[in-house]
Amino acid sequence: MSTLPRISIVTPSFNQAAYLEKTIQSVLEQNYSNLEYIIMDGGSTDGSVEIIRKYATRLAYWQSQPDGGQAAAINAGFARATGEIMSWLNSDDRLLPESLSVVSSYFINHPPCDWLAGAGIHFDHRKRYIATHHPQELIRQNIQQWAKHGICQPSVFWRRKFWQVSGPLDERLQFAMDFDLWMRFAEKGHGEVIPQVLSAALLHRDTKTRTHAESMFAEMALVLFKHGEIDAARKQIVRAIRPAFFLDRTFSFITRNPLYRRWRERKDSPLP
């Protein structure tokens, strides 16, 4: 029986067939003897299920059915997980070779560490290198300054016992649930940064952070408010709405004109 701690990886996915197989392979080819890999598919119709079935015998569990979104799928996967160390890997990201061995060794040799963050590579759909992201000290002041000290999510791992007191993900959030979790982690435990590059995150035009940037921005403000950072949340909101107010003031000579307002009222009226 392996003496290595079991590591549980959960991959949430929905219609990501173009990227999913590379993600799965990056986990299963880790050469880590005590791996528990779980895939939670949201009922894909693009060939994802056929890809998952190719690897079914090497998975601890998988399903393909409608769920409550990414956060709900990850929570459901972790509810089935039994590992001492946990993380999730989105279906368009990858673990780099030997990452799990690096993580396991660090947790074994650093008992006070509740969670850790390694570095992460960003690349595009043409496999072109964009940048390597190195996280800063895992303290609340750094984490709340997301734009300046963001954490590469697939390079974050934590102990199961810490998840039990700090999780699960807030299922009301669909874009900033990791930001919310890191804030809770920083509040409740001890995190450490390691220099090794653990993952590669694919930046493509269909990523949620690009296609729903405004929702991501809004949820980050909500998370800051949730954690009592009212001033930081206010600045986030003001930053977002300032352009709209500037345009409103600039064109007020039109928008406040009685004739224009009358036209808008008639245009927006539900009556024919």
Rounded Cα distance between 24 and 270, Å, is 51
Angle between helices 177-188 and 70-80 (to 10 degrees): 50
Alpha-carbon gap, residue 211 to 81, rounded angstroms: 31
User: Which tokens belong to 156?
Assistant: 């974050």
Q: What does the DSSP assignment read for 137-173?
A: --SHHHHT-HHHH---GGGEEEEHHHHHHH----TT-
Residue 210 has a pLDDT of: 56
Residue 1 has pLDDT above 50, yes or no: no
Q: What is the mean pLDDT of residues 247-271?
A: 61
Interval 13-44: pLDDT, tens: 999 999 999 999 999 999 999 999 999 999 99
pLDDT for res 266: 64
Tell which residue, 143, 146, 99, 94, has the closest CA to residue 121: 94
Domains and CATH numbers, the chain: 7-226 (3.90.550.10), 230-268 (no CATH)
pLDDT digits (tens, 9 = 90+) for 121-169: 998 877 788 889 999 999 999 998 876 777 999 999 999 999 999 999 9
The one-letter amino acid code at 84 reads: E
Closest CA to 30 of 98, 92, 107: 98
pLDDT at 145: 86
How many whole angstroms separate alpha carbon 269 and alpha carbon 79?
A: 50
Residue 119 is inside which H or E element, if any? strand 115-124
Q: At residue 228, does pLDDT exceed 80? A: yes
pLDDT at 267 over 60: no
Instruction: Look up residue 83 and give its two tokens.
Output: 């590992």
CA–CA separation, 32 and 30 (whole Å): 5
186 backbone dihedrals φ, ψ, rounded to 5°: -65, -30
Tokens describing residue 231:
């001033």
Tell me what pLDDT residue 148 has: 73
Per cent of the chain over pLDDT 70 is 85
pLDDT computed for residue 257 by the predictor: 66
pLDDT bucket at 92, cuts 50 / 70 / 90: very high
User: What does the pLDDT read at residue 171?
Assistant: 97
User: With bands split at pLDDT 50, 70 and 90, how would you rate the model's confidence at 238?
Assistant: confident
What are the distances in angstroms from CA 211 to CA 66, 198, 207, 217?
21, 26, 6, 12
Q: Is 72 helix (H, G, I), strand (E, B) or coil?
A: helix
Contact 117, 155 (CB under 8 A): yes
Q: For position 146, what pLDDT does the model report?
A: 76
**DSSP track, 236-258:** HHHHHHHHHHHHHHHTHHHHT-H
